[in-house]
Structure formats: C-alpha cells, structure tokens
Structure 1
C-alpha cells in the first residue's frame, strides 16, 4: 500500500495555536496516540492527609492511563467542583504529552485550529486583505495586501480598527474581530477606522484573499518582488511575476521577505529553483537518526539577475531564512542581504492528520544552509545592517485599563512615549522613562494635533494613537 504523504512545513516561528487556550477533546483522541508517552501534572500539597486505597491492577502504561483517568473522573473528591471534568482530564493529558518537550512548534490542533493554521499559510479566506496587530486591545493595521479589497477602499497601515458594522471592537478578542471582518464572498462590511484622530468609514466588499506575493517594476531595469508567505499558490504566483519581469527586461531585483514567517517546504524548493541553477543545494535536513537529506534546485531560472537585494527583519523566519541562505550561498556577490537579524527558526515540522480533521504538528528535523550552517536560535546577519529606530526595536509598553501617568513620574511606558515622539520628529530631551518637563511639553504638542484635551497625561488610548502614527509613518517612509 502506498504510504500516505503529508505536507512538510517550515512554518512561521509563532502561531496562535502555540499560545492556545486549553481545548475540548474526547477520549478517542488519546486512543489515536497509542505509543506516545503521556505526562500528567497534578498538584500535591505538602502535609496533605490521604488514605491508602487498594492497589490498581494494570499491565501496561496505557492501562495505567485508563485506570488513572477512571479514578480521577469517578472517585476524585474535588472532581465535583471541576466543570466538564472528563474533558479537562483528557485535555491536560494531551497538553502534557505534546507540550512537555518544550518545543513551541509541536502542537495538537483541533479541526478548526488546523484549518486556521493552513489558511494562515495559504491566505485562503474571504475577507478584506489586511494584517493587523493587537496593541493592548486596540487593533492597528500593519499591512494592507496589494490588490486587496482593503487597498481598493483606501485602508492604510496605521489605521485603527474602531467599529465593525457599527459595533465597537476595542478590547474584544482577536479571533472575534477576525470573525466579524470575514464573511461571504461579495458581502459588504462597514468598518470605521481612526486615522490621526479622525474617524474614516469604509464600506468594503469582501473577496477571496489568496495572493501571497506581489511584483512590480519600480524603474526600467529594477523589479520589486514581495513574498508574504510560502503557501500552496505562492510558487505559481512568483513564476508569473518573474515571467513578467523577464518580458519587461528587468536586470536587478529587490526581494522583500520582511515579516514573512515561512510556509511549505515544497513551495520553498519551487521558488528557490527560480533563482539557483539546476543541482545547486537549497536546503539540508538533519533528522533524529543523524541522517541528512539534501534538496537541490530543479533549475527553473528565467532571469539572469545582475544584482539581488534581499530585505529582511526580525520576523523573517523559517522558509524565508532558507531562501535567503540558499540565494546568498549559491549566488555569492550577486546577493546583498539588507535589514536586521532574522528570527532564527531552523526546524522543520510535518503534520499527522486524524479522522476528525485534527492534526498533530511536530518537529521532525533541523534544517541547515547549503554549506551546512545551523541557524536555529541564531538567525542570519545581514550584509548591510539597518538599525531600527528605538521604538521599532523595543515596541510599546501598554498601560493597565484606567492607568494614567502624570508629569514628573518614572515609568517604563514613558520610555515608549519618548521613543515614539522622537521617531515622529518631536524634540524630546531624554528616553530613560523619567517624564521630564520637556517630555511633557513635546507630548502636549502631539496631543494638540488631535484637537482634544491637552493635559500631558499618558493613557492607553494615547499609547494606541502613538502606536498607530508610528506604524503609519514607518510604512510611508
């Protein structure tokens, strides 16, 4: 019988499933994982009084598991206080087994989570085509995808998502927001954005979001190729873009891999073959038994580039790093890597599907560059390091709900304020967290641009506004 093949992932270093809440499962899912070591973690209080019961007869580790499950679900005194006890016991067993190794890239996904995971790689959903991030409950647009409904509607990086179909969304969960924004193909969603203190309302027609790459000529001989992820369709998209570049006489390429967290190994091999001559090594994989597998280029090169500049940052991870290393080590002086140190995600995952559409995603190998270098936990240092502004490097420190910072105070959030104001062109005198008179003066100038109360008091609302303005200016520049 032909062995069932599964897709191998070099997925983004950090996925929602890796910080997931505990999930509901049934006992049958444990039965499907026979042969794996199970770990239970229960709290024992020193000095507790307990009685000794009759020994439990069991002949195998799995029988012991079933016996413990039965005892805990039927005889454990405090079980009466636990909501959905049996589900929780199974939940904890699976989490202990999967998470016990400390590998954040190994996880068990329900069918719904598995779909979300693969949709994240393929961008296969109906929506508006934006990427946003959570600033302590305020959702700020980080990227507007090319050719998307959002771009056509005039949505900009830095816009704050304020209302969806009339309902305010500040403070709701990210999944809940996504559910509100997504919908049926052709349906309309009305979103109110906050832009520089002004409400901007957009009626956006939802559409399938499948584009994972974008290309354009930026002058007669220089082309720009952006790759957002390595999904199912990315290889064909990139091939079409490169064919267009060849037709237009492109000689130099800017390859933008910033914020690309990776994707499928097969897609990486396809795209690498568009740049590396046949037989050139793209990636090596080192497995648990010490053996190494080498993937080589199929030689689909169409353009003989005079120069390739690759843009990277700290969110360039996994398959993106593989491509950077493959081009850099195979093409030599033709390639210049520009940006900041990449993430350093050097492991390979595969998926084991189950009949209920859930999956076990687990690490099977560590990948090496063509020359045999390891990058896991190390990353790739660019040839030309472009230092990020302090606020982009350090990020924003959130405040608690209702918390305020008054002048003549010391607080870590004031560091964020000072760094953000400096980035936006204000003349702050320090960036050490002391809310000095000069810092207050410059912040009041910023507040005045919004036409609201000018009091110099820092709140989470102002931090979110600063965050949005920094994102907008950063993308504009």
Structure 2
C-alpha cells in the first residue's frame, strides 16, 4: 500500500549485485518478490504479470539463482534473504535514478523512519555514496562525529575494519549507526593528507534541530537549515519571528550541505519567504502530466531581503527551495551549483516490512527546468576550497564583524557584504 506523502532525499547507492535486465521488467510491479518467496517456500508462485514472452525469458533469472544457490563456493553467503534484497536492489538501481529510488529491508526501513523524526542514536553525521565512494557529507552540529574531529568530505574507507567498497548508502547507514554508548571505528581519508587515519566514535543520542540562527552585525540574520525533517517549517517560522523581534532587516539562508528531506517541508519553508500562491515546483508524472505545488499564506519574511547560500552538497528539497526563489526572483543565490536530485519519491510498504522508495514523479522548477543531473546554478558563483568548513551560527557568537569578513568562508562573506549594502540603502 502506498503512503501518500511524497519525499525527496539525497541518496546515492550502488547495486549489491547486477541482475539480468529481464528482472527489471518482471519485478517492476513488486510481484517479483512474491515469485521469489513462492519458489523458496515450494509453493506455486504468483502469476507472472508480464507477457508470455517475457515470462518465458525470465527463466534465465531462475537459472542464475539456482546455480548461485547450489554451486557458489561459500554456501553461507548464498543466503536467500540477502539474495532477494540484492535482486530487488539491482532492479531498482538499473532504473537510473541513483540517489533516490531504492529498496530498503525491513530494518533499513525502520531506521529510515527514525531519521525523519529528527532524533536517532549514532555518530551524528550525514553520509552518502558518491561516484562509488562512501563519504561524510557533513557532521551534525554538536554530534559525536563533530566532537571526534570528522569533517565534511572525509572519505570512509572502512567501518570497524571492513572495507566499504561497493557499499550502498543503506548498508553504510546500518553499519555506522548503533546503540548509544557503543563505539564504531572509521578509517578515513582526508583531502590534503597523505595517509588514511582511524577515528573511534562513541555513539550517542543525536537530536537534530534543523534550524539554527544568529543575528550578525548590521542586523542581518544568518539562518541555517541543515535538513528538511518533520519540524523544519515550524522551526524556520519560529527562527524568523525571533530574528525579526531582535531587529533583523535581512536574511542569509544557509542551505549548504543540506541533503534534503520531506517535500511538504520544502513548501513550508518557501512559504515563509514567498507570497501565497507562488509556484514552488512542478511535479511531472510518467504520462507527462504536470501539477504545481504553491506556497501557503502566513509567511513571516516576505519583505526581508534574502540571500541564499548553496553548494554541491545542497540537494533535493534544498534545490526545490533554491529553484523556487530563483524563478520568483526572490533573493540571490550565492555559492556553487547544487547536486542535481530530481525525482519525487513515493514509499511503498511491502508485505515483509521492507520498503520500496520509488520515483513516481520528477520535479521541475516553476519555470519548467529539469534539475535531475544538472542542479541549480547560483546567481553568483563563489567557490570554497575543499578544506574550508562553512561557518555556522554558533561559530559566530564570539567573532567581530572584521573577523567574520576576514574569514575563509568566502560564500558567507560575500552574502554578508551584499546584505549589509542592501540594508544600508533602505
């Protein structure tokens, strides 16, 4: 049964093993799982949903299955449950929507649900697989990962001594997360350092406030949005109201290293800056039919000058919001071209508790531009060296204006200069 709320996430994964292209066709409707389970239970399988020709050709899959189960050198490795998950994973990866459409086992689905709540147990870092490399996108502020000195862009070479070669994002997440008080050891490779190094991180309860803010000199509010979870819209509204009460006359919205999240929260966040009825995105289904999502009334920052920071790790809902601002000519985008995620996921619960996150629609900017594989281009490009960590609101509390303007965070420096010039002319 499909859940009706669509999601948008930045996730890149690799197949556990590649299956025949025929598997893509037969399993696409979800009934392939029934075929596999029926075979293993020695029962009559679910009727093949495809044409007789395709159903007959599907015998090739069973040949490969039987040979793998009966002749692979390590019989314990030929685990039916793992092989089924691998088959489905290979199928959905072959659809070409790497980063979004994916299969989650029952345990992975449970962890995925937990991640949307804004609280979980683990090291506290956004992780990903990009170009086949497992990596740290960004540590969460105040998390065990940050306290251990882990930085954005660190490549994860091994987890507890096991090489991460060909790992999927969900396998990586499962291995890195764990109960509070337990330790996980990561082998990391950092740009600029000649040798990998190990970091032992003690897991803890991680609470993720998605919004933090600080009132900069010249009454410019820096508002950082780290993800689009279930409370992001409410937290954004509260932060903006508090900033206005303290005299904010402009806003710098920091979406750097934001991997995305819930689509409805993207609309909520955009609604704080755009008039009611403004198109935030277009959703296009497989028939080419398009529907628009628009902002709601009640925005609390409609009149404040807006400057938006983006980078290559800004993805999914971050791109939706950035694209909406750009199309409406609301504010200025500063930084680097975003990641380029472009499908809207619908989660389907499968009979064994697993989940199929399927890209049933693709999203376009209000102007109709396709973002998948292209990203959002900033209005002004400002690049940061790979070893420069963007400043966060909590980093600015003890810095003077001169110290901020002379910092290595050139993107923030440029945004603050433009914002200061703007409020000075009002």
Band of TM-score, shorter chain: 0.5 to 0.7
2:366 maps to which residue? 370
SS at structure 2 position matched to 1:19: coil
Q: Quote the offset at 1:139 in angstroms.
A: 9.8
For 1:145, the equivalent position in structure 2 comes to 140
Q: C-alpha distance in 2, partners of 1:193/1:97?
A: 31
How far apart are the structure 2 equivalents of 1:191 and 1:213?
Answer: 29
Kindly report which structure 2 residues correspond to 1:187-266, keeping only aligned pairs within 5 A, or say none. 187=181, 206-219=204-217, 221-266=219-264
Instruction: Report what 1:103 is aligned to.
Output: 97
For 1:260 and 1:212, how far apart are their aligned partners in 2?
10
Query: For each residue in 1:264-289, what CA deviation from the matched residue of structure 2 results, as whole angstroms up to 9, or x when unmatched?
Result: 11111111111111111111111112
Distance 1:71 1:154, change over 3 A: closer
Q: Is the 8 A contact 1:251 1:305 kept in 2?
A: no
Q: Is the 1:9–1:348 Cα contact (8 Å) retained in structure 2? A: yes
CA–CA separation in structure 1 for the residues paired with 2:65 and 2:129: 39
The size of the alignment, in residue pairs, is: 359
Aligned pairs for 1:122-201 (under 5 A) are: 122-131=117-126, 143-148=138-143, 155=149, 157=151, 173=164, 182-184=177-179, 187=181
Aligned to 1:33: 30
Alignment of 1:220-369 (within 5 A): 221-330=219-328, 332=329, 334-369=330-365
Give the direction of change, closer, same or farther, for the CA distance of 1:188–1:344 in structure 2 (3 Å limit).
closer
Retained in 1: the 8 A contact 2:14–2:93?
A: no
The yes-or-no answer on 1:80 pairing with 2:80 is no
Whether the aligned pair in 2 keeps the contact of 1:344 and 1:379 (CA below 8 Å) is yes
Whole-angstrom CA distance in 2 between matches of 1:369 and 1:161: 32
User: What is the CA distance between 1:368 and its match in structure 2?
Assistant: 1.7
* Residue deviations 1:126-183 (CA, integer Å, cap 9, x gap): 2353446899xx99976443354666x5857489899xxxxx9576548899778755
RMSD value, Cα = 4.9
* 1:455 aligned residue: none
C-alpha offsets along residues 230-276 of structure 1, whole Å, 9 cap, x if unaligned? 12222222222222212222121111111212221111111111111
| Distance apart, 1:113 and its partner CA | 2.6
Aligned to 2:396: none
Shift of 1:5: 3.5
1:133, 1:30 → 2: CA distance?
26
Gaps of 5+ in 1: 24-28, 39-57, 163-167, 393-419, 424-472
CA distance in 2: counterparts of 1:126 and 1:178, whole angstroms = 11
- Alpha-carbon distance in structure 1 between the residues aligned to 2:185 and 2:69: 47
Q: 1:122 to 1:315 in 2, by over 3 A?
A: farther
Residue 7 to residue 288, structure 1, CA distance change in 2 (3 Å): same
Q: Which runs of 5 or more structure 2 residues have no equivalent in the other structure?
A: 19-25, 36-49, 389-407, 414-426
Deviation at 1:309, TM superposition (A): 0.9
Taking structure 1 as reference, are residues 243 and 31 closer, same or farther at Cα in structure 2, changes over 3 Å only? closer
- Per chain length, whose mean CA-contact separation is higher, i.e. which structure has more relative contact order (CA < 8 Å, sep 6+)? 2
Instruction: Determine helix, strand or coil for the equivalent of 1:320.
Output: helix
The 5-angstrom pairing of residues 419-438 of structure 1 reads none
Contact 1:317-1:345 within 8 A present in 2 as well: yes
**Superposition TM-score, scaled by structure 2 size:** 0.66
Q: Which has the larger radius of gyration?
A: 1
* 1:396 corresponds to: none
Q: CA shift at 1:102, angstroms?
A: 2.6
Contact kept in structure 1, 2:138 and 2:257, CA below 8 Å: no
Q: Distance in 2 between matches of 1:202 and 1:89?
A: 32
Is the deviation greater in 292-301 or in 368-377?
368-377
Greater mean alpha carbon deviation, residues 237-246 or residues 153-162: 153-162
**Greater Cα offset, 59-68 or 98-107:** 59-68
- TM-score, length basis structure 1: 0.60
**Shift in Å, 1:308:** 0.9
